[in-house]
Amino acid sequence: MDGDVMKKIYISYSWDNNTNMNRVKGLVEDLEEIYKNKYTIVFDQESFKNRIQDVDRFMLDNILDAYIVIVFITPSYVEKANKPDNGYGNGGTVRSGVEKETSYLVTRRNQQAKSIIPVLLEGSDRPKYIEGLSFIDKNKNSDIIRELKDMIDLFEIEKEKDETINLIDENNVINKVSIDKIDINFNFEGEPVRVSGIICINNNYFTLRHDQIIYLFKKIISEDSCNEQKVQRTFSNKYFFLEFTSNQLYEKFLDIIKDALKRYIEQLLDFEAKYEICSREPMNNQYEFKLATMERKVWIKMIKFANSLDWSNGKSSWNIFQENDCFIHVFSPIVSNNLKYNFGQHAILYAIKNKNLYYDDVDVYVKINDIASKYDKREISVRNTWSINMVFEWLKNEFVPFFCKRNQYEENIVQFEECNQYKKDIFSQAQDFYMSNKVVVEKEELKLLRDVLVFCLSKKTVGEDSYYIKSKLRISDDLNTTEEIRKYIESNKYTKYLMECSNNSSMADDILRCIKSFTDNFSTHKINDYDITYCERKIKSLIDKMEKIKLLEKYEF
């Protein structure tokens, strides 16, 4: 992505009545005039009319690239955006553009909420995914353009502050030159494992915190630390500025860190497998995992219902609770009529106020410490202490249905945190990752990506995506068919262009965007599962890098 390309502002809206359409069009024209030398305003009406490329691909690609997304809200927009599955198919019906956009905007909401600017054009309701965000209300602000400009300018200022921190000048930087003696010792303890360390440089000792070491691990994975042309090696990041006197010493330093990284990754994977949390993200640094959301009054009634089934109050198979006014404590007595469980604690479910200020909801969660610390000698199993996933399955499939039946509730009063509900295919994940992270991509890995794209082109005809693929790969030749594009990408001319590329991560991002037009759920020419598996194996090194860094970031705090 060239430095002189203008940033994008993407416009999300619903195609409903002409009045609202004309309002949106007029506002877009005003924005184009204000920011004509600064931003490209992506307003898809003309592109769709001219069918310049696949509609899904156009929307999703531009949402990914957008610096800011402006959402114009009308009752029609709210209705479409609030479909039960947030855009992942609704009983086989044809999805609207709003539905298709929503799942990507939900992800953006979680990662960079301030980059979404909602504008309430009509009505008072807003889509669920943007509740809690600052918004412009036409009923209260007659000058929408001025309000939009203020919010865009404020976002720019805050973004620039984030991006101009001088990492090397932060506190606690270890700045050493002419290093001829260095050693690092790492200490691993706890569950989930936390790592600390001591680094000895020329007989000076420095302690390393968990977050500093994780940063170090990420640098080793994501950056090309080796340069055979350099004799004196330099290793710098926001915690270190180290200059070594020999290649051998530098390589020794890297090898020690790589060995510790390998050990740490193995312990994290063992931990996630043991407690069945591989697809879940912790809520905070206390390793608490969200399982569901419900109204506070429902949660209070649920606690009272569980207390009525205290193990001392009866002899049914449901008398497996220990009375408590603050949480639900699942506990089997020594003598129990539920033959599935052994004596002792199985799980504790807590609740905390949901961050959405507009609803009186609570998030229900479990703590790893209740499983790992207090009861680490008990077996993790359905009969004994439950894993995170076991608690989730019990809550969803047993307790909530039983509670709803006894209290005459509909089961949809609880929204469960399905860990795979919005999981993207691996190529979409890789594209997101290499787009947003400065991770080294080797030339040979670029060739492998090119080979995967060639393979996909040999399997399916791309149709409308041919324009998209040519634009992403910067192919200027007059190529009209899938076969012509495939042969060109295989040619020596394109290989030479690939090898001379100065920004491998950007090139990897572009090729992955082309590949995912054959692999994601929006594709009209998706390859089969066997072919997708083959493609995944071809780029295993890129996927491994991504998954290691994402795992480290998950436990970085």
Read off the DSSP letter of residue 89. -
Q: Which residue has the higher pLDDT, 91 or 18?
A: 18
The pLDDT value given to residue 42: 87
Task: Report the C-alpha gap between 215 and 506 in whole angstroms.
Answer: 22
What is each CA distance from 165 to 139, 144, 238, 294, 557, in whole angstroms?
39, 33, 10, 40, 20
Task: State yes or no: pLDDT of 116 exceeds 60.
Answer: yes
Provide the percentage of residues in the chain whose pLDDT is more than 70: 83
Phi, psi of 364 (to 5 degrees): -95, 135
> What is the pLDDT averaged over residues 310-321?
90
**Burial class (CB within 10 angstroms; exposed 0-12, middle 13-18, buried 19+) of 243:** middle
Q: Which of 233, 217, 229 is nearest to 180 (CA)?
A: 233
Q: What is the pLDDT of residue 111?
A: 57
What pLDDT score was predicted for residue 262?
94
Give the dihedral sign, CA 377/380/384/389: positive
Q: How confident is the model at residue 99 (pLDDT cuts 50, 70, 90)?
A: low
Angstrom distance (rounded) from CA 8 to CA 41: 6
Give the mean pLDDT of 467-476.
86
What is 304-321 written as a DSSP string?
Answer: HHHHHTBTTS--STT--E
Across 82-86, 394-398, 415-419, least confident range: 82-86
Pure H helices in 236-337 = 247-275, 296-308
Cis peptide before 192 (omega within 30 of 0): yes
pLDDT tier for residue 165 given thresholds of 50, 70 and 90: very low
Kindly state the tokens that stand for 250. 């530098």
For 485, residues 6+ apart whose C-beta sits below 8 A from its C-beta are: 457, 462, 466, 469, 470, 475, 479
Q: Kindly state the average pLDDT of the residues 402-425.
A: 84
User: Whole-angstrom Cα distance, residue 474 to residue 477?
Assistant: 9
* Beta-bridge partner residues of 290: 365
The model's pLDDT over 445-461, given as tens digits with 9 standing for 90+, comes to 999 999 999 999 999 99
Residue with tokens 């620039």: 160
Q: Identify which of 158-172, 244-258, 259-273, 358-372 has the greatest average pLDDT.
A: 259-273
Q: What does the pLDDT average to over 376-394?
A: 87
Task: Give the CA count within 13 Å in the CB-facing half-sphere of 73.
Answer: 25
Check whether 421 has a pLDDT greater than 60.
no
pLDDT band at 368 (very low <50, low <70, confident <90, very high): confident
Cβ-based neighbours of 326, under 8 Å, separated by 6 or more? 303, 350
The residues facing 310 across adjacent strands are 321
Pairing relationship of beta strands 68-73 and 7-12 according to DSSP bridges: parallel
Contact 187, 196 (CB under 8 A): yes
Mean pLDDT of 488-496: 92
Q: Report in angstroms the alpha-carbon separations of 363 from 355, 359, 479.
A: 9, 12, 54
Percent of the chain with pLDDT over 90: 33
Element (H, E) at 183: strand 182-189
What average pLDDT does range 86-94 have in this prediction?
41
Q: Which DSSP helix (H) or strand (E) runs through 370? A: helix 368-372
State pLDDT tens for residues 42-67.
886 555 555 445 566 677 777 777 88
Distance between CA 215 and CA 210 in Å, rounded? 9
**Rounded average pLDDT over 377-386:** 85
DSSP bridge partners of 40: 8
**Residue 104 binned pLDDT confidence (cut-offs 50, 70, 90):** low
Average pLDDT taken over every residue of the chain: 82
Name the CATH topology of 7-163.
Rossmann fold (3.40.50)
Q: How far apart are the first and last CA of the chain?
A: 31
pLDDT at site 167: 30
pLDDT at 21 over 70: yes
Q: Rounded mean pLDDT of 485-489? A: 93
169 pLDDT above the threshold of 50:
no
CA–CA gap between residue 249 and residue 234 (Å, rounded): 11
What average pLDDT score do residues 477-504 get? 89
Where in the chain do CATH 3.40.50.11530 domains reside? 7-163
As to burial, measured by CB atoms within 10 angstroms (0-12 exposed, 13-18 middle, 19+ buried), residue 291 is: buried
Q: What is the pLDDT of residue 6?
A: 82
pLDDT in tens, 122-133: 888 888 777 667
pLDDT of the residue at 448: 96
Which of 185-194, 255-264, 295-304, 442-451 shows the lowest mean pLDDT across its residues? 185-194
Least confident of 93-97, 146-150, 301-305, 422-426: 93-97
- Global model pTM greater than 0.75: no
The strands making up 7-12's β-sheet, listed across from edge to edge, are 39-42, 7-12, 68-73, 116-120, 136-137
pLDDT of residue 230: 44
Mean per-residue pLDDT, 230-257? 77
Confidence class for position 357, pLDDT limits 50, 70, 90? confident
pLDDT score at 95: 54
> Is residue 117 classed exposed, middle or buried when 0-12, 13-18 and 19+ CB atoms within 10 A define those classes?
buried
Model confidence at 494: pLDDT above 70: yes
